[in-house]
Amino acid sequence: MTLPRPLRLLLIVCASVLGGIVLTVLVALYLLLQPDRFTAMLQEQANTAGLQLTLSSPASPTLFPRPALQLVGITLIARDTGSGAANMPILLAANGRLVLPWRTLFGGPIVISRMQIDSPRVDLDALQAWLLNLPPQLTTVPDQIPSIATGIRIRNGSVVENNSQWLSDVSLDTGRLIPKQPFWINLSAKKTDGTPLQWQLSSVPSIAHGALALDNITVYASDSGATVLHLTGNARWTGATHASMQLQGKFYEANEGNYDATVLLTATGPNNPLLLHLKLLGKNNHVDLELPTLELAQWWNQLTNPLGPKISAPPGNGQVDMATLDIGKIHIEGLSMQTGNAVPAHTESVAPPAKSDAPHPQ
């Protein structure tokens, strides 16, 4: 069937007009969103943190259902770490999405409402190398809490260490970060054997009188129900290493039942500014340890260094009594250990004889 010539001309005109409208919308969308300024902002923020952010292709804008920028081929690399991890990407992601508020389109401030990342791969070795080379962090409390308008969403992520997968199917969601409002983080993943893991953290942050306060802290962690940790409490930071934290709750272990759990962080002085006190009290197991946080971090870094010693006792004082202990494929029974000031004094030295008042024979 052949369409009449007038009808064909009408359809051609309509198609041309529609194509022009679409082209105009796309150009206007690009001019309004200005993907280059958001890409530059992200790269500048990464550069400030000692990171290099690259994309495999320029960011592309979308308008519906909400204004957003599509990011493809995300690579995050540490700059000038001075180690072999310098060229190892900390993060690789197939794609991402930056959701923007409508006011940003019409000349408002550059604000990201929500960040979504799909299929990221995080390398713990590269991440640790970057963290070890970071400059000194904030020593004073900022005037205000940085805001997250909507939150962060990550799906189908993975975590690798020594080129071996450590966690898979990683999902992360966060809420809005607003002073004096509840802020939450939900994280789930699977171990290499398929065991599901789950972590949840919530708190109410605020800054007042030169101190950062985290009130109503709730910590929940579960390893497929075999172990469950639930703690609540508060924390406070007044600058530098002046911090305190009090968390109390329960720790559940299959076949062992519930433990009373306590985690305390206190500042004890200039030579040992932060002391972490861990306490677990159960039916057959008892852990009571005081760990200096700075020395503990140095010990951990040395332990994870491929060129450093692999076996060394952690710094601290306390006692561990465990009826049974399972670490991976290792099973230990009847473990009792004392460290630091908890170690009994050495008693093999012979005491001097008692002085006698009797006269010496002539």
Instruction: Convert the pLDDT of each residue in 268-318 to its tens digit.
Output: 666 556 788 888 888 777 888 887 777 766 666 665 555 555 556 667 777
- The predicted pLDDT at position 357 comes to 47
pLDDT in tens, 63-110: 767 777 888 899 988 876 555 545 688 899 989 888 877 666 655 566
User: CA 316, CA 314: separation in Å to the nearest integer?
Assistant: 7
Structure-token pair, residue 84 = 């072999």
- The predicted pLDDT at position 359 comes to 45
- The predicted pLDDT at position 1 comes to 54
- The predicted pLDDT at position 58 comes to 78
DSSP string spanning 173-203? EE--B-TTS-EEEEEEEEETT--EEEEEEEE
Look at residues 295, 292, 289 and name the one whose alpha carbon lies nearest to residue 267.
Answer: 292
Whether the model clears a pTM of 0.95, i.e. scores above it, the answer is no
Residues making up the chain, counted from first to last = 362
DSSP string spanning 312-360? -PPS-EEEEEEEEEEETTEEEEEEEEEEGGGSPPP--SPPPPPPP-SPP
Digit-by-digit pLDDT tens for the chain (362 residues) are 555 555 555 565 556 555 554 554 445 455 555 667 777 777 887 787 778 888 888 777 777 677 778 888 999 888 765 555 456 888 999 898 888 776 666 555 666 778 889 999 999 888 878 877 766 655 677 777 766 667 888 999 999 988 888 899 999 998 888 888 899 999 999 988 888 999 999 999 998 888 889 999 999 999 877 888 999 999 988 877 778 899 999 988 877 778 899 999 887 666 556 788 888 888 777 888 887 777 766 666 665 555 555 556 667 777 877 776 665 556 666 667 777 665 555 544 444 444 444 444 43
User: CA 38, CA 35: separation in Å to the nearest integer?
Assistant: 5
Instruction: Please say whether the beta carbons of 189 and 172 come within 8 A.
Output: no
Ranges of each domain in the chain: 17-137+145-181, 195-339
- Helix then strand count (H, E) for the chain reads 5, 16
The residues, any chain, with a CB within 8 Å of residue 87's CB and separated by 6 or more, are 77
